[in-house]
Amino acid sequence: MTVIQPGLFLIMQRFPERKDILRNMFLSSKSFKSTCKDYQRCSEALAYWAESKNEKAPYRYREYFALLQELESDIIQSLPEVF
């Protein structure tokens, strides 16, 4: 049984139609591995701030939401073209 790195798993859930390509990118690219870790950390922070009662929570939530969207955009742009 293969264990999938949590960040890669989250990205594969977000882009299920590109699972195989994402897996190959993870295996072959240090940069993409780093992006996966960033995606995981950002997702965790987003979940934390979504539940936080801290007065800064709405601001932090928006900040991490925007960062997650930016990471997703970077991921989409790094995907090879499919013909």
Question: In 10 A of CB 73, how many CB atoms?
Answer: 10
* Buried residues in 17-30 as b, exposed as e (16+ CB within 10 A): ebeeebeebbeeee
Query: Can you give the pLDDT at residue 7?
Result: 96
Q: Which token pair is 19? A: 């699972």
What's CA 65's distance to the chain center, in Å? Answer: 11
Predicted TM-score of the model (pTM):
0.90
Amino acid at 59: Y
Confidence of residue 70 (pLDDT cuts 50, 70, 90): very high
